[in-house]
Structure formats: structure tokens, C-alpha cells
Amino acid sequence: MTKTNVPRLRFKGFDGEWKDEKFKSLVERVKKTSDSDQYKKIEFSNIDEGKIIGKLSINDTKGIAFRKNDILFGKLRPYLKNWYYSMFDGVAVGDFWIFRAKRKISNSMFIYYLIQTHRYTRISNYTTGTKMPRSDWNFVSNSSFYISNLEEQQKIGSFFAKIDKLIELQTKKLEQLKKLKQGYLQKIFPQDGESVPRLRFSGFSGEWKEERLKSILLERNLKKEPSKEFPLMAFASQKGIVLKGDRYDRSALVKDDNKKYKITKFNDFIYSSNNFKTGSIGLNKFGDATISPVYSVFNVINNNNSDFFGVLSKNKSFIYKMLKYQQGVTYGQQRIKEDDFLKIIVRVPYKNEQQKIGSFFAKLDKLIEEQSNKLDQLKQQKKAYLQKMFI
């Protein structure tokens, strides 16, 4: 006879069906409050998918008192995934549920990962309220979940804790690389009022010369209908030219069979007047494509190095210079005219130093991309295991 109430993936040595229990049978919902200034206070904005962000305050604000190994779940807008496994005693301020595992039947770490499963997420997102949706405790507490014996629960919880540790370490590695890049951006380019950078590759000297962008870039304003040779693409923040499916499907919004789109080619420089401050600025590393005419597209000319200019455009001082030419105050109607953009003055070195800098940052970006992919893979592995190791 086929067993139905068993997970698809299981540790060796465990068998038998899991039992069906209501959520309120697995946890105690802690409600005791405290305003003690002896404990750290966790607010809604301090949690992001299991991580503490920002500095925790110690004051007399009133909230729900939690203990080490309790589980905090943000009931307000539950799709934000504001959950946390407490590593200390403290006070939760705001719209939280505090879960304490009932030790005779459930393991704290197992419950922590159970609330990250698709089933719990779907149930907790059955909300009340529209503007400020909150999970419905009556619905969640009376919903059923399958659980194993305590030994298997402990094994599962420990397994996922190790995956989370790998994700944490990989996240830190990626953040360190991004900080390293920001540090190089500040040192390899001259500061405002200076003509030479603070950090330089061996063999280069002399002042960087001032140039207007019109001597470096030429606007590409050709339009055509999308085709196999020039597919319709999206320009995504921090990613550049990507397939629309890699972002989200906006075909109904961005495509019009009778409309022509701007042509862009490999290593073109592109910016969005509305979103350049958040990363919608950089090079086309895809190749021939068509994109929305709301974007400004330029070809890098006069043997200037495209990678160098792509890096230069990420520098904060360059962004500030762009802001001076931004017109309009309403988002969606803000604009930096191409003629104004080309008036911006930048300092640039000779071509061989441009190439050296461009190549250096291209390698650093490649390393960041590889580490980012590793992080994504770990997150996908965790998601797959959650689907297979819970019912």
C-alpha cells in the first residue's frame, strides 16, 4: 500500500507517515507584553527573511516579550516574509505573532522552516483588510500541517539551519565584493576638484583631461520594429539589457505591433531619465536589440573605452552631475534631455589607461556576478528542499 502522508525526500532511517495536526496544537502563541528597558526591541523594519537589519534599540517601548528560540512572524503584509528565529530574549514591537514550540510535539527549528513552506505562506496570506492586510489567526491556527516525530523534526531543522548558514556566508562574501568595488570607484577616479586619482595602476602618470560627453558619446536615435535580428528587450536596473522574461512579462504594456523601438548595439551606453539613480544606467552587454524609446541610447566614439565609461557612469559624482540636468518633479515625467546630458564635463585618462581600468572592473563585475549566481543557487536549493522535505 502506498503511503500518502510522507515527504518526497527523507533522511535515511526514518519511515512511517507524518501525522496531521492543527497549527495551534504545534505552537503556543505568546501574548505576554513587556516595556522593560533591559531587552532589545525588534521592530517590523528590523527583520528581512530571517536576518536582523539595522540597529536594535533598548528603550521602554511596549511590545510582546519573546525568549531565545521563539519564532517571530510579521502578520502585517505576510508576503514580506518578515520572520526571525530568535537568538536572544527580547521584545517584539508592532504587528508580530510570537510562536513558541510545544516541546512534547514540535521542534522550534522545524516550526521555523515550516512557516517558510509554500503551504504556510499560502495560508498566512489569507488576510483581512485591504490597505493594511494582516494574517488571520483564526484561519492559520485552525489550518492543518503534517509533522513527523521529534527526532526527524530536529534533523530537518538542523539541515535547513546549515543551508541558511551557507546563504548567510555567501551573502556576506557578495556584500564584501560590492563594498570593495565601491571603494575602488572612489579611489580610481579623481575626486571633485582633483585631476589625478588617489589609486593608480603602475606605469601611468599625468593629469586626467577634461572632456564634454559629446566628444565621447554619440546619440543613437534610430528606430525600427522588433525583429529576429533586433529582438524587443527590457532594460533592467543593475542588469542592463535582459530578456523580458528575466524581469517580468510586460508584453501587453511595452509592445505595440505598429510602434517602432530604439535600436541598440553591443557596448552602447543607455540610461533611463527616471531610474538612473537606482541603477538603470550602463552598457548594453547583450548585443543587437530594440528597447523602449523612453531610454536614451549612445554609441561610444573616438576610440574611447566602453567599459571605462560604463564604470565611470556608476560613480556618485557622475550621477550628481546628471541630476543637475533632470527636469520635472513627477516620477514618470522626469527627463534628462540628450543634448543636456552631452554637456556634462568629465575627467578621462588616455586610452590605454581607460582600457586598463575598464578591464579591471569588468573582471571584478564578473566575479561579483559569479558570487551572486552562487547565492541564487543556494536559495533555489533551499526552496527545492522545502518543497520536498515538507508535506
- 64, 92 contact by CB (below 8 A): yes
Give the dihedral sign, CA 76/78/82/83: positive
- 190, 347 contact by CB (below 8 A): yes
> Max CA-CA distance within the chain?
82
Tens-binned pLDDT, residue by residue, of the chain (391 aa):
456 799 999 999 999 999 999 999 999 999 999 999 899 999 999 998 899 998 998 888 899 999 999 999 999 999 999 999 999 999 999 999 999 999 999 999 999 999 999 999 999 998 877 778 999 999 999 999 999 999 999 999 999 999 999 999 999 999 999 999 999 999 999 988 899 999 999 999 999 999 999 999 999 999 999 999 999 999 887 788 888 654 444 444 445 556 889 999 999 999 988 777 776 899 999 999 999 999 999 999 999 999 999 999 988 889 999 999 988 766 666 789 999 999 999 999 999 999 999 999 999 999 999 999 999 999 999 999 999 999 9
pLDDT of residue 332: 61
- 328, 335 contact by CB (below 8 A): yes
What's the pTM value of the predicted model, to 2 decimals? 0.85
Beta-bridge mates of residue 363: none
pLDDT of residue 247: 44
- 3-state class (DSSP) for residue 358: helix
Domain 19-147, what architecture?
Alpha-Beta Complex (3.90)
**What gap in Å lies between CA 113 and CA 116, rounded to an integer?**
5
The domains spanning 19-147 and 149-205+349-391 adopt the same CATH topology = no
pLDDT tens readout for residues 98-142: 999 999 999 999 999 999 999 999 999 988 777 789 999 999 999
pLDDT of residue 316: 87
pLDDT tens readout for residues 238-272: 788 888 654 444 444 445 556 889 999 999 999 98
pLDDT of residue 251: 46
User: Half-sphere exposure (CA, 13 Å, Cβ side) for 146?
Assistant: 14
> Cα dist. 360→136, 184, 275, 348 in Å?
53, 10, 26, 16
pLDDT of residue 62: 93
- 299, 265 contact by CB (below 8 A): yes
**What gap in Å lies between CA 8 and CA 22, rounded to an integer?**
22
CATH class held by domain 209-348: alpha beta
Instruction: Locate the domains of the chain by residue range.
Output: 19-147, 149-205+349-391, 209-348
Which residues, 6 or more positions from 207, have their beta carbon under 8 angstroms from its beta carbon? 195, 196
- Give the strand pairing for 240-242 and 281-283: unpaired
- 3-state class (DSSP) for residue 305: coil
Give the dihedral sign, CA 43/46/52/57: negative
pLDDT of residue 363: 96
Place of cell 514540535: 106
- Give the strand pairing for 234-236 and 209-212: unpaired
Which residues, 6 or more positions from 369, have their beta carbon under 8 angstroms from its beta carbon? none
pLDDT of residue 176: 98
- CATH code, residues 149-205+349-391: 1.10.287.1120
Beta-bridge mates of residue 100: 28
